[in-house]
A = this chain, B = another copy of it.
């Protein structure tokens, strides 16, 4: 028995872990290009790169994730030998706060940095919802000026246009957490003597507002009150606001009017008597003025009180970029694509470490969602092409074939020798097709003796194949031609150019 067990081969499962995925070919290069386009804008705005490690101490990360229904507060965490708990970062903001607190004496103030890379969330995976995804952030740490917030909003607008979202297909929507605080004060929800209770209630309120898109007005109203049962029967506890209190918050959420001025006036009315609320409205006004002076009008940026963002750490202006065009879901129903970027002011994140207040504001672009949107709209044109494939007619002459690809590569042409089993020539051409190769090169003993090679235009060949019936015809057709070995580089280059022109 024991021996049987030992000899039984245990095979590990070849699976991507649940909620993760792999990216192939153009999926990788398209994201790299998008990251380059975004960071070019960030760089032009004066931000410097920073790359922190993927791993942080759990205590440095803090507990700011919204809607956490998983252990370890939504992060992937483990305990070290020496009993420290470590975790994968869940965003790029918490690590920035740690870095600024740690290196503040050496960094310029304000410290303006951009960062890009994967972040990890230990959440229930769902369709299109992964546990690892890319963010691309820019933040200004050490500036309390709303000019810093306004700048981030205009940069966000420039960024979206730089990656290929035309004006009119997006909106940057701005709000202010201070206005929400003011509204809650007016509604009598704010109990200054118990900040913990206030924070908890405000957290439920803002997560409720954040779900307006999905739940509609009645859903939000239920969450502001006793709570809400969803379609599956799960009950989510509400903020426990009274009916009148809830209506004040609902009024805030729907305070958007036709013009910035009218929205600001309505908000000022709602927070009357609250100092913090009034300050928030003034900040919104200043942001609107600064943006307007630079020509960022309502076709790009608007004040929208329904924007609150889910994260717990924001303290002032919050902003969000929404794609305004419609897409169709699995069932063919139109829906808005929704948010692809967001951020805001978080004046207390550094203070957690140092005890000193350090104001900060910044934005995070959800790169994978943005890519999905561009693909959805057919706005990504991948230009990547497979390599020229030099086929193997005689496996003892591998050195000659390698010399051909060396010539091509040295001329900057992407090329490779077929390295699989060369026995079946059909497999070699099938491979070239699968790799989306523009050209195959063929040199048998006969060709070698005559100092020539055959080159084959694979795209043209595929088109002709539908029309040609006999092998004789095939050999006669212009997709394949015989050239002098010495002309290989020049002729392949011509054939690729012709193929590219044919596609254009």
A1-47 contacts to B (CB < 8 Å): 9, 11-18, 20-25, 27-29, 43-46
List B contacts of A471 (CB < 8 A): none
A43-88 contacts to B (CB < 8 Å): 43-46, 48-57, 59-60, 62, 70-71, 76-78, 81, 84, 86, 88
Segment of A259-267, A416-424, A444-452 in the binding face: A416-424
A17 with B294, Cβ < 8 A, contacts A78-B76, A81-B71 known: no
List B contacts of A112 (CB < 8 A): 416, 419
Question: B55 near A12 (CB under 8 angstroms)?
Answer: no
Interface digits, A95-131 against B, CB 8 Å rule (1 contact, 0 not)? 0001101110000111010000010100000000001
Question: A402 near B55 (CB under 8 angstroms)?
Answer: no
Is A353 positioned at the interface, with any CB of B under 8 Å from its CB?
yes
> A52 CA to B132 CA in the complex, in Å?
10
> A9 CA to B355 CA in the complex, in Å?
9
Is A147 positioned at the interface, with any CB of B under 8 Å from its CB?
yes
With beta carbons under 8 angstroms apart, the residue of B13, B142, B154 that contacts A59 is B13
Is A364 positioned at the interface, with any CB of B under 8 Å from its CB?
no
A297 CB to closest chain B CB (Å) equals: 14
Is A414 positioned at the interface, with any CB of B under 8 Å from its CB?
yes
With beta carbons under 8 angstroms apart, the residue of B14, B86, B354, B431 that contacts A102 is B14
List B contacts of A417 (CB < 8 A): 147, 151
A420 with B143, Cβ < 8 A, contacts A44-B412, A62-B12 known: yes
With beta carbons under 8 angstroms apart, the residue of B22, B354, B402, B434 that contacts A147 is B402
Question: B14 near A55 (CB under 8 angstroms)?
Answer: no
With beta carbons under 8 angstroms apart, the residue of B9, B44, B56, B419 that contacts A414 is B44
How many copies of this chain does one complex carry?
A: 2
Question: A12 near B399 (CB under 8 angstroms)?
Answer: no
A118 CB to closest chain B CB (Å) equals: 6
> A348 CA to B386 CA in the complex, in Å?
28
With beta carbons under 8 angstroms apart, the residue of B22, B54, B88, B414 that contacts A52 is B22
Question: A109 near B420 (CB under 8 angstroms)?
Answer: yes
With beta carbons under 8 angstroms apart, the residue of B11, B15, B45, B101 that contacts A416 is B45
Is A497 positioned at the interface, with any CB of B under 8 Å from its CB?
no
Is A398 positioned at the interface, with any CB of B under 8 Å from its CB?
yes
A177-236 contacts to B (CB < 8 Å): none
Question: A402 near B46 (CB under 8 angstroms)?
Answer: no
Binding site for B on A (CB under 8 A): 9, 11-18, 20-25, 27-29, 43-46, 48-57, 59-60, 62, 70-71, 76-78, 81, 84, 86, 88, 98-99, 101-103, 108-110, 112, 118, 120, 131-132, 140, 142-143, 145, 147-148, 150-151, 154, 289-290, 293-294, 352-355, 386-387, 389, 398-400, 402-403, 406, 409, 412-417, 419-420, 431, 434-435
12 A-B pairs within 8 Å (CB atoms) are namely A12-B62, A14-B98, A15-B102, A27-B51, A43-B414, A48-B435, A55-B76, A78-B78, A112-B416, A147-B419, A148-B419, A290-B399
